[in-house]
Each structure stands twice: as structure tokens, then as C-alpha cells.
Amino acid sequence: MPETDLTLLTEAAKEAGKLALKYWKKAPASWEKDDGAGPVSEADLAVNAQLEEHLRGARPDYGWLSEESADDPARLAAPATFIVDPIDGTRAFLNDDGSFAHALAVARGGEVVAGVVHLPVHDLTYTATIDGPALLNGVPIAPGARAELEGATVLTSKLSDNPTHWRHGLPGYKRSFRSSLAWRLCLVAEGKFDATISLRKAWEWDIAAASLIAQRAGLLATDRHGKDLHFNRAPPLSNGVIVSNAKLHAAFLENLAFWPE
């Protein structure tokens, strides 16, 4: 079942990419969300509608959780649930930056069983199932083996540079950033960076697909306290995220200051 779901997700993600590119660099209409959660555009909504038609048309018994759809609590009782970010990195998309992604996952029993992260501008498609390897364009990927935070390349926001978030002062890591959180996780999975952390609460649709890809590449993917990630929850939020190899993960947990749940 995860394999057939993965085929469906991959097809849907690539079709989403084709649609998104029709809006990219064309100044689509956009506005700020009422809840202060950032921008949304007509492209986000069009891609969301196409994905829902494609995916739920093929799996009508699955639940639906998407950044751009009203949350339907029926998903909590569904045998499986699609967890979707139609355009992860909308701000980049609107700035004509190609580092946006389509992130699609299927969750069963609280865990992701199939996931796809597709970047149409870069022609990159990351995939994984719960019992298969992590792949990039069909080729297995593997992460790096750095063991120390000092000098590590870390994808994170400027928030992480605040020394108050660290028990022993800001570590000497090298910070980089990508607008798409899903892509950040995938870049660590393929060894381009050593780790990614998000100290803010993370929406499930931003991390569901990519967390599976990272785990199947051999990484740990947890919340900021080192607890396992669980999906299709109410509300669909994780208390931050840490993705790295086991040694770096332990170093993060040792150095990060405690934040309440």
C-alpha cells in the first residue's frame, strides 16, 4: 500500500509543479492570511484544489489535511490521511525564487508511510516509503556524518542565532536558510547540509513528507525536545523540529535551552 500511495503522490506532485509554474513569475494575486501565518496566493489555492481532486478522487476514504483547506475533523477517524502543503515556500514563490516545493504525504496510525517533496524549478523529486530507501530522482541518498556542532552547516532561521536559546552560548555552526522547510529537511537527507532545526512550532504539512525522507535516509527527525514526531493530530502542530544524524542530534539536545511544551 505505501508503494501505490507513493506512486499516486509522485504523479500528483509533478502535476502540481506544472500548474504552479503557470503562475510563477507572473505576479499572481496574493494577500496576507488573517491569522498572521504569512502570504497566500491564487497559485496556492489553485494547486490545492487540483491536488485535492487528484488525490481524494483516487482515495475517497482518506482524510485530508492541507495548509490551504479548512480543517475537517473527520480526518482523525479516517484509515489514512493526506497531509499536503500545496506550495511550501509561498514567500519565495512570490519573489520569483525557485526554492518552493510541493510536499505531499500519507499518514496512517500517526506515522507517515509515504512522502514526496517536489521542486519543479530545480527538477528535484525526493521520495520515500516507510519500508523503502530515501530517493532523489530515483537514486538513493545518504546524509553526512559530522559529529560536532562547531563548524556544522545548519539550515535554520535567524531565530536560532539568539544566544538565549542555547545553554552554553551560540554554537559555532554555519547558518544557511531556505524558504521551504520541507526542502531543508531533504537537503540534510542528501548530505548537502549537516542539520536543520526549527525552534518555532511546525505545522504537520511542512514536515510530514520530508521527515519520512530524512528518516529513511538514516537521520533522526524529532521535535525540539527529542520526542518522536506524530502526525494527523489535533491541532496539527509539532513543537519544533530537529533533523540530523544521531551524534549531532545529541549535541543539539545538550545545548538547546529548555522551552515549555
What is the C-alpha to C-alpha distance for residues 259 and 261, in angstroms, rounded to an integer?
6
What is the C-alpha to C-alpha distance for residues 130 and 22, in angstroms, rounded to an integer?
33
Check whether 197 is labelled as a binding-site residue.
no
Answer positive or negative: Cα dihedral of 202, 212, 155, 118.
negative
Check whether 123 is labelled as a binding-site residue.
no
The candidate with the shortest Cα–Cα distance to 128, out of 81, 186, 75, is: 186
Check whether 88 is labelled as a binding-site residue.
yes
**Are 245 and 138 within 8 A, CB to CB?**
no
What is the C-alpha to C-alpha distance for residues 217 and 66, in angstroms, rounded to an integer?
25
What is the C-alpha to C-alpha distance for residues 84 and 106, in angstroms, rounded to an integer?
9
DSSP string, 132-183: S--EETTEE--------STT-EEE--GGGG-GGGBTTS----EEE--S-HHH
How many helices (H) and strands (E) the chain has is answered by: 6, 16
Contacts of 240 (CB under 8 A, 6+ apart): 197, 198, 199, 200, 201, 202, 223, 224, 225, 259
Check whether 11 is labelled as a binding-site residue.
no
Binding residues for Mg(2+): 67, 85, 87-88, 206
Binding residues are 67, 85, 87-88, 206
